[in-house]
Amino acid sequence: MYKLEHNYFPAADCEFPQSETGKFKFIDLFAGIGGFRLAMQSVGGTCVFSSEWNKDSQTTYFDNFGEFPAGDITKIYENDIPEHDVLCAGFPCQPFSLAGVSARTSLNTAHGFACETQGTLFFDVMRIVAAKRPAVIFLENVKNLVRHDKGNTFAVIKKAIEELGYSFSYAVINAQTVVPQKRERCYIVCLRDSPVKFEFPDFQGKPIPLKTILDPNVPETFTISDKLWAGHQRRTATNLARGAGFTAFCADIEKPANTLVARYWKDGKECLVPQQNKNPRMLTPRECARLQGYPESFRIPASKAAAYRQFGNSVALPVVTKIAEKIFNHLMEIKLCNLAPIKN
């Protein structure tokens, strides 16, 4: 453990400054580029602590929020973290995701909680909850978290949270009705000492087509090469014949895109945009930002690979914002905030 350094740099020209005296306080763990932060700030929250260890993500976070997140959460002493009302954490999903589990199984390495580097980070969240007892815990992870290890992983998570005196609610939500992307994620909201459980907002509706966020004129550099396109087609045909593995198709722009993932920068196979009389193209980083519902003014990194990775790892902003509105209303009900509730 190391003593937490003062990490707040008030940057006058950051894109999303926050009020020092918000309606409630929150912390942003595994902050990435600040998807939770944008949502919580939009309902009047003030961020009092953030943690993210990836240098590129820290830079993007600083450009947008004027604050460098603290680093490795496992090295931060829980009592050094300021008091807060809401704890937000999109803890790393690779040990629990379907792709992560099958890759680790084939390499004969541990997954889930047994993965020593990333699987135990949930328990770092729990030691902060035990010390600080925020009114609300707000977590996000892959949908496979619910089924991982035949449901045992999820049962351990639920039990650990309930033992600390919180109600436990979760929902698997597909973001496709609020962004043009199929993105199913597990959201967990837990309320301290509450006789009622959190009720998630409704995400029913028509899926949004990919074409709504595409730029009409995209530089040629985004068109994939003949070699890459031929390789995609060859491997797709082989894998379809054997019934498993990599497939790459042009997207149907009348439908939502496939889930954006951190590896998208490698070859774009998850979402290739069809073009007339030429090879398909990759999405631009700005289009990826839109797929996650980020505002146009969000500053994206100069490095394309970093930008793709960061948006692939991020949350679908309109989903977390709608949940944040309900969390704010709960804080009102328990009188942690004294302003008017947000109408959905």
60 lies in the site for ligand SAM, by CB under 6 A: no
- Which pair of tokens denotes residue 226? 């003949």
Pairwise CA distance, residues 57 & 31, whole Å: 8
Which residue number, 121 or 137, has a Cβ lying nearer to ligand SAM? 121
Find the binder of ligand SAM among 24, 26, 27, 36 (CB under 6 A).
36
Residue 5 exposed, middle or buried by CB count within 10 Å (0-12, 13-18, 19+): exposed
Q: What Å distances lie between residue 69 and 58, 59, 76, CA to CA?
A: 6, 9, 12
CB of 175 or CB of 251, closer to ligand SAM: 175
Q: Which is nearer to ligand SAM, 120 or 239 (CB)?
A: 120
Question: Per CB under 6 A, does 170 bind ligand SAM?
Answer: no
Residue 57 in contact with ligand SAM, rule: CB under 6 A: yes
54 or 144: CB nearest ligand SAM? 54
Taking the complex as a whole, the smallest distance from the CB of residue 104 to ligand SAM amounts, in Å, to 16
* Catalytic (active site) residue 186: no
Q: Is 51 in the site for ligand SAM (CB under 6 A)?
A: yes
Quote the CA–CA distance of 4 and 6 in Å, as a whole number.
7
274 within 8 A of 253, measured Cβ to Cβ: yes
Residue 54 binds ligand SAM (CB under 6 A) = yes
Q: Which of 14, 47, 88, 93 is catalytic?
A: 93
33 binds ligand SAM (CB under 6 A): yes
| Torsion sign across C-alpha atoms 12, 15, 19, 24 | negative
The reply to whether 64 sits near ligand SAM by the rule CB under 6 A is no
- Contact between 41 and ligand SAM (CB under 6 A)? no
**How many CB atoms sit inside 10 A of residue 196's CB?**
10
CB-CB contact of 84 with 27 (8 Å) = yes
Return d(Cα 102, Cα 79) in angstroms, integer. Answer: 37
Region near ligand SAM per CB under 6 A, out of 15-23, 89-97, 206-214, 248-256:
89-97
In whole angstroms, give the CA distance from residue 62 to residue 72: 17
Contact assessment for residue 44 and residue 21, using Cβ atoms and an 8 Å cutoff? no
Among 25, 45, 47, 52, binds ligand SAM (CB under 6 A): 52
Catalogue the E-assigned strands of 219-332: 272-275, 278-282
Name which position in 18, 25, 26, 30 contacts ligand SAM (CB under 6 A): 30
How many Cα atoms are found within 13 Å in the side-chain-facing hemisphere of 203? Answer: 25
Considering only residues 298-317, where is the footprint of ligand SAM by CB under 6 A? 313-315
26 binds ligand SAM (CB under 6 A): no
Cβ proximity of 279 and 329 under 8 Å: no
Stretch that binds ligand SAM, among 25-33, 165-173, 222-230, 333-341 (CB under 6 A): 25-33
Q: Which residues bind ligand SAM (CB under 6 A)?
A: 30-33, 35-36, 51-54, 57, 72-74, 90, 92-93, 121, 313-315
Catalytic residue numbers read 93
